[in-house]
Amino acid sequence: MEFDKELDARGLNCPLPILRVKKALAEMIGGQVLKTVATDAGSMKDFQAFCRQTGHELMSSSEANGEYTYFMRKKV
Amino acid sequence: MAKKLAIIASKGTLDWAYPPFILASTAAALDYEVQIFFTFYGLTLLKKEIDAQISPLGNPAMPMPVPMPNLVQVLPGMESMATMMMKQKMKDKGVASLDELRTLCLEADVKMVACQMTVDLFDFKPEDFIEGIEFGGATTFFEFAGEADVSLFI
């Protein structure tokens, strides 16, 4: 999947991944896609909840070998 | 209009210091307007250097590497040892430091109010605290909390 910005949140625990996402999104324009890789097992639920509350679109989330990858489209 | 979160932070130990800063920074990331009112021991979390300690004493739920009776926990140095071990564990697990979380809160415009009565009670000086905070009383808290969607006492 194509993306405009990549964020490495591996090794970070709650709430840091979400705080970094918030910061990364602030530097992007509406419609752009942010890719985030995290290792926090709680991030799957939190990323979904973050998007539901903020209106950004969680395009996909997947897990492989303990790493969680998210693609998020910033709301316009 | 943005949702509002009001928190009273009344505890100053390492474990109790986390919830206010974690919840405040996360709420700010969710576009909440946040205010934390620091009172009694919570006020020490606004000092320039956060020196929060943890004590296993009287806390039977605290996971310990080896079982430790209360009688041993009262020995000098046990508290600083427990604090050191907890901080190391947090670092290993990627948990942010209190200082880092507090800075993130300030960057996200979380408003921090120091309880003036507690400042007087403990003879603290305004220069003991970080910059960018306000001083106020219970009425100041209610001006914000009265309009808040979520209010927490920690």
Instruction: Out of A14, A19, A41, A49, pick the active-site residue.
Output: A14
pLDDT of res. B67: 83
As for the ipTM of the complex, it is: 0.86
B contacts of A13 (beta carbons < 8 Å): 93-96
| Cβ-defined contact of B94 to A54 (cutoff 8 Å) | no
Mean pLDDT in chain A? 96
The 10 Å CB-count burial string (b at 16+, else e) for A22-48 is bebbeeeeeeebbbbebbbeebeebbe
How many angstroms separate the CA of residue B104 from the nearest CA in chain A? 8
Which chain B positions have a beta carbon within 8 Å of A22's beta carbon? Answer: 29
The residues of chain A scoring below 70 in pLDDT are none
Where in chain B are the domains?
Answer: 4-53+97-153
Question: Class assignment of domain B4-53+97-153?
Answer: alpha beta
pLDDT at B56: 85
The pLDDT value recorded for residue B39 is: 97
pLDDT along chain B (154 residues), means of 10: 96 96 97 97 96 88 84 89 93 94 95 96 94 94 95 98
Distance from CA of A2 to the nearest CA of B (A): 25
Q: Which pTM was predicted?
A: 0.91
Gap between the Cα atoms of A44 and A49, Å rounded? 9
Just give the CATH number of A5-73: 3.30.110.40
